Structure 1
Amino acid sequence: MSEFDKIIGYADIKAELIRFCDVLKNFKDYKRLGVEIPRGMLLHGEPGIGKTMLAKSFIKESKIKSFTIRKDKHSREFINNIRDIFDKAKEEEFAIVFLDDIDKFANEDEYHKDAEEYVVVQSCIDDCKDSNVFVLATANSIYFLPNSLMRAGRFDKVIQMTCPVGDDAKKIIKHFLSKKQVLGDIDIDDISSFMEGHSCAELEMVINEAGIYAVFDKRTKIEQRDIIKACMRLIFDAPESVEYIDSNILKKVAIHESGHAVISEILEPGSVNLISICGYSNNSGGITSVRKPEDYNFNVVAQENEVIRSLGGKAATEIIYGTFDLGCEEDLHKAFGLATTFVDNYCAYGFDAFERGKSSQYLLESKDRKVDKEMDRYYRKSKQIIAENRGFFDAMVQELLKEKTLTKKQIKSIRDSLVIRD
């Protein structure tokens, strides 16, 4: 079994690593074709997604002598340590130098990327050109790394890693659950819908927290409710309970969030991962988690749907209470931002509102008028969807007040029990 087979997901990235690993293991075969040994590879992405695990698997699979460098010393001693390790690596027939968390080697900002630590690393890599030394590095962020360090000839391959989604997220959740005692009614599809997009470390933390809830309640197995509770607490930073919040406030929150959710489900069925009236950090707000299409950045309809969905809380509040919504400020900023992008950046409604250089007052006013006009149109659409699907909306509000949190499966059940007008 390959070392990479032990790692769940990341098939494309593992394929790249396997290819590079084969070059190191069978270099003589490649040399016959005039292939030069690659100089280095950098894996980057947010913490907790398995960068170091993949790097260590690469080292084990290669069966090549390796040297690891981490920032665990003061600057001057650390710099000398970098030089010493590269010197030792050059003495080997083949060697890998592993720079773990290279972005932590120095505390630089975007205007000062010339820290001595990075200058030394660059110099050491260059000095290895006549040696069979491969440099492998990980970083949470490459934003503050010098461009000169990341160019070809130093790091020939720079790979961005992201949080697991889709089947990868399901496989990882199943893996963590396999180490726990769980009831058979755990719905992996439902759980993965609102947990995907988070790091492997976060997924493991949620499953472990769910186990703590089960044992504390004197139960012998983890249940679906434990995982949902753990996810709400750790991922969405929701409070333990909303019982202390006035029922009238909770109803307003339920109406607001149901506005978002119903519109999202009508425009894009199955798009709502989770809806809850358990707000962030003891705030009496709510949460509507929506999965956007994979082609969202290239999908006009999906982006327009996002504007309409963002206005759903305000629309629902106005329909039910006949007054404006005091909890829609963030929603409005999002909606206006997208509408402005349509009008200005994309010239979706004509060229007479595109800002270029020192734009005239007339042009700026024209842009504002177009944005206002489009926002009015989107808002009317939001209210229309809720009005035409009032049964679905009322059922969502009622069930949300009862359960406090609804998952994708529960939302689908509510939707399927009603006649929905698209």
Structure 2
Amino acid sequence: MSDLYSRHRRVMPDWLALYYDDPIEITHGEGRYVWDSDGNRYLDFFGGILTTMTAHALPEVTKAVSEQAGRILHSSTLYLNRPMVELAERIAQVSGIPDARVFFTTSGTEANDTALLLATTYRHSNTVLAMRNSYHGRSFSTVGITGNRTWSPTSLSPLQTLYVHGGVRTRGPFAHLDDRAFIDACVADLKDVLGHTRPPAALIAEPIQGVGGFTSPPDGLYAHFRELLAERGTLWISDEVQTGWGRTGDHFWGWGAHAASGPPDIVTFAKGIGNGASIGGVIARAELMNCLDANSISTFGGTQLTMAAGLANLAYLLDHDLQGNARRVGGLLIERLRAVAAQLPGVREVRGRGLMIGVELVKPGTDEADPQAAAAVLEAARAGGLLIGKGGGHDTSALRIAPPLSLTVAEAEEGAAVLEAALRSAYA
């Protein structure tokens, strides 16, 4: 046991998860690669849990942060803040929400907290609809709406949460249906739920469930939900903490796959926009954002240092069409992994879109989740020089693959080869 690991265990909570039997300390990175304290190099297919969106040590971002640090780091939202206003203007422009207002936080958890505050205040209701297998953060209120037992340590909550079907296409009572019938069944289930409660404040949903193992419904499901909810005045919150900024390739926001009824009422974001800097936030039309009748501030949300990082990172992403790269390279990577999966009875499904890919593992010959195999693949991939994640609502049996959006074809092939070897070793 390393000295740093011993020190970690003495002062950190037991529930603070660490990857690997022998945890690693990442000391630096460049592009799509990182190095640990022993000098080992890894191809990074998880990006600090989808936060390193463009690249490690991206010169444009590090230069912007360095220059801003030389001027001022922070002043709070009590004072005018040019970088915060400039980033809010850019985000409002790409949001798709008319008359958009932007509020910055320090994390996705805090962003979802704020969205829930806005929705429940606006609608005068503490009832919230959420998806089964969902994850929305670690605060008291966001744990209360999370539909994933692995990440929900308490049932206590300030909200009344009702869970509906649809976030997982290939499991559950509707899995055997085709896409059209699946959507119809989920809409009927939602309609039944709504018939037994007063109109909820909002539905909050991840277009692709992140911690849940990169699962998603058929395209268009949330548009159908939105039509039904709008009849009751219920708002639609799209949790884009993991799906935003072009990661899915096909759309800039994950809600774009469900856009028939227009943009959501509220969008939350975080992770990738800062490329590692701590940025989260909420986008809503002015009527919603301004519904609070008490003063509020954010001490660290929108601080100049993180806003400089976000501005440079978003500009780089747009100028270099990283959404298009995610679509092209991600499509190749998904097909490569599906070809491997076809040869391995323990791989139940390769799913996702763009550079957001899930590989679900089961015990061969069954539909039973295999978390031991997932842990073994994680270790074997690390030994082969590849970092990946894991998740899933079925005993953490899904591998999560989410590299920086600047991933090259050669790097995708390199990572796929390591992952193939790791998968084969788990089922040898």
Question: Which bracket does the TM-score occupy, shorter chain normalised?
Answer: under 0.3
- Structure whose residues are more often helix by fraction: 1
Larger radius of gyration: 1
TM-score, scaled relative to structure 2: 0.21
Structure scoring higher RCO (CA < 8 A, sep ≥ 6) equals 2
TM-score, scaled relative to structure 1: 0.21
